[in-house]
Amino acid sequence: MNIYADNAATTKMSDTAINAMTDCIKNFWGNPSSLYSIGQRAKEKLEDARFEIAGIINAEPREIIFTSGGSEADNQAILTAALIGKKKGKTHIVSSAFEHHAVLHTLNKLKNYGFDITLLDVHENGIININELESAVRNDTCLVTIMTANNEIGTIQPIKEIGALCRKHGILFHTDAVQAVGHLPIDVKDQCIDMLSASAHKFHGPKGTGFLYCRKGIPLSSLIEGGAQERNKRAGTENLPAIMGMAAALKETAADMDKHNAHKAVIRDRLIAGLSQIPHSALNGDAAQRLSGNVNFSFEGIEGESLLILLDQRGISASSGSACTSGALDPSHVLLSIGRIHDVAHGSLRLTIGEDITEDEADYIISNVSEVVAYLRSFSPVWRDLMTGKREFIL
Ligand SMILES: *Cc1c(COP(=O)(O)O)cnc(C)c1O
């Protein structure tokens, strides 16, 4: 069996997206900035894509800026809010401890320029507390940036409440919605979102493209200077094949979202029930307020990396923590943020399933993870210490 269970790292491109890209490369290869008809036909496709994407999140087309992906959109949103804030003497930003590194590292950079950053606790369930957010905002707060859904543990934040609170206090609200767009209903007006980041390769579109929604009236700052593309907010000839692929992928994913979520939630809960049978294991993040495709477990006494390698040999592609942290020795900052200690965080497994997963595949995952965990424990010195009482079990 071959099961791809790492959809939070990237998704396989849909045929629809591939076809849209091929169509563009063959038939709409002109430069959208050119005035002759070959260019103008490309420009039309660019604006069609913008219109399509805007509609799906209830934005206006001119509120959509195409970027090279989620990371760039996060950087641009945060820089914009920081520059607006700085002009007014507001240099305080509120975020959360388990944001993606595209957000956290950008905030860290701003610290060197005099910004003060408050990172909210995400508690054991991986969800921020709205009252704590209200207490954290100050007169000099210029931005609240909280992700819609976490990429490692899949927990979903109370976005509408956060948006309403920010609106009430006159603070800009940005959300990294890379794991949510195409997977959860989003309405930027209803949820009072000022800026939102998305990435095509998380919803069956191509890599290296994404978009930033920026509510009209907010003076968006560009990260890349040059030509007048994207209304002077993002220079460089547009990656039209990728943009057309992204729009086609999002249209298709969004149309079937409810059906996909219903199916994935059933499989997710089957996986959670099955993996909970493994002794000294625990689900990471809230069981209910989470993405339908996310299962994240910690198993005491093992190394996540060894687990991944052995699962790969059995045809299962999964991740421990996030793609950015596997490879590095540091345990995932997300798992640490929900209170997992280093040893336990190291023995973690993230399964992010796609809509095509079957019950049989879920059962195959459960039996193989159970076997591999037992096998790894059979020669783990940490497990021996736990069993002989030299160490105390945590889970
Ligand atoms: C993948 C991801 C990103 C980065 O998006 P890229 O398009 O790969 O730059 C940012 N935030 C979250 C939550 C993600 O899952």
Residue 322 has what pLDDT? 44
From CA 338, how far away is CA 83, in angstroms rounded? 31
Return d(Cα 20, Cα 14) in angstroms, integer: 10
CA-based nearest residue to 16, from 247, 208, 171: 247
Q: Is the confidence at residue 234, as pLDDT, over 70?
A: yes
Catalytic residue among 142, 166, 192, 324: 324
Q: Is 150 in the pocket of ligand 1 (CB under 6 A)?
A: no
pLDDT tens digits, 244-270: 999 999 999 999 999 999 999 999 999
The minimum-distance atom of ligand 1 relative to the CA of 200 is 7
pLDDT at 104: 98
Residues 61-80, mean pLDDT to the nearest whole number: 98
Q: What is the dihedral of CA 134, 129, 131, 171, to 10 degrees?
A: 20
CB of 70 closer than 6 A to ligand 1? Answer: yes
CA 45, CA 241: separation in Å to the nearest integer?
A: 10
State which of 151, 184, 246 you would mutate to test the pocket of ligand 1, scoring each by most atoms of that ligand within 8 A of its C-beta. 151
User: Does the beta carbon of 178 lie inside 6 Å of ligand 1?
Assistant: yes
Identity at 25, one-letter amino acid code = I
Count other C-beta atoms under 10 Å from residue 276's C-beta: 14
Q: Please check the confidence at residue 125 and state whether its pLDDT lies above 60.
A: yes
Distances (CA, A) of 103 to 52, 72, 98, 336: 27, 10, 10, 17
Q: CA–CA distance from 94 to each of 37, 107, 144, 157, 242 (Å)?
A: 47, 10, 5, 15, 33
C-alpha of residue 151 to centroid of ligand 1, in Å:
8
Counting residues of the chain whose pLDDT is more than 70, the rounded percentage is 98
Spacing, Cα 178 to ligand 1 middle (Å):
6
Predicted TM-score (pTM) of the model is: 0.97
**361/353 Cα distance (integer angstroms):** 10
Domains of the chain (ranges, CATH numbers): 15-255 (3.40.640.10), 256-387 (3.90.1150.10)
Instruction: In whole angstroms, give the CA distance from residue 289 to residue 170.
Output: 28
Rg for the chain, CA atoms, rounded: 22
Q: In the beta sheet, which residues pair with residue 272?
A: none
> Minimum mean pLDDT among 23-27, 317-321, 338-342, 370-374: which range?
317-321
37 CA to centre of ligand 1 in angstroms? 36
- Around Cβ 208, how many Cβ atoms within 10 Å? 14
> Nearest-CA neighbor of 103 among 126, 123, 124, 77?
77
CA of 260 to the centre of ligand 1 (A): 21
pLDDT at 321: 60
Is any ligand 1 atom within 6 A of the Cβ of residue 6?
no
List the structure tokens of 57.
């999140």
How far is ligand 1, taken at its centre, from the CA of residue 383, in Å? 35
Nearest 5°: the CA angle 273, 329, 306 is 50
Nearest 5°: the CA angle 266, 267, 268 is 90
Chain-centroid distance of CA 5 in Å reads: 15
What DSSP state is assigned to residue 66?
E
In this prediction, residues 136-144 reach a mean pLDDT of: 98
Per-residue model confidence (pLDDT) at position 231: 95
pLDDT tens track for 306-328 = 999 999 999 999 998 644 444 55
Tokens 């059995």, located at residue? 314
* C-alpha–C-alpha distance, residues 66 and 305, integer Å: 36
User: Which whole number is the average pLDDT over 330-346?
Assistant: 91
Q: Of the candidates 2, 393, 19, which has an alpha carbon nearest to the alpha carbon of residue 206?
A: 19
Please tell me the predicted confidence (pLDDT) of residue 331.
86
Q: What is the four-CA torsion angle of 5, 332, 128, 277, rounded to 10 degrees?
A: 50
CA distance 378 to 3: 26
| pLDDT > 90? residue 115 | yes
Measured between alpha carbons, how far is 296 from 290 in angstroms, rounded to an integer? 10
Q: For this structure, is 324 an active site residue?
A: yes
Cα distance between residue 385 and residue 379, in whole Å:
11
For 44, the 3-state DSSP assignment is helix
Residue 216: both structure tokens together: 């009209």
71 lines ligand 1 (CB under 6 A): yes
Any atom of ligand 1 within 6 Å of the Cβ of 205: no
Q: Is the CB of 99 under 6 A from ligand 1?
A: no
Whether 307 and 338 have beta carbons less than 8 Å apart is answered as no
Pocket flag, ligand 1, residue 210 (CB < 6 Å): yes
State the closest ligand 1 atom to the C-alpha of 102, by its place in the atom list counted from 1. Answer: 10
Q: Identify the residue whose C-alpha is closest to ligand 1 atom 12.
A: 178
Taking CA atoms only, the protein residue closest to ligand 1 atom 3 is 70
CA of 146 to the centre of ligand 1 (A): 14
Q: Do residues 59 and 174 lie in contact, with contact meaning Cβ atoms separated by under 8 Å?
A: no
Whether 146 lines ligand 1, by a CB cut-off of 6 Å, is: no
Binding site membership of 278 for ligand 1 (Cβ less than 6 Å): no
What number of residues does the chain have? 395
Q: Rounded mean pLDDT of the chain?
A: 96
Instruction: Determine the distance separating the centroid of ligand 1 and the alpha carbon of 70, expressed in angstroms.
Output: 5
Task: Look at 323 and 227; give whichever has higher pLDDT.
Answer: 227
CB 304 within 8 A of CB 348: yes
Mutating to test ligand 1, I would choose from 156, 179, 332 the residue with most ligand atoms within 8 A of its C-beta, which is 179
284-303 average pLDDT score = 97
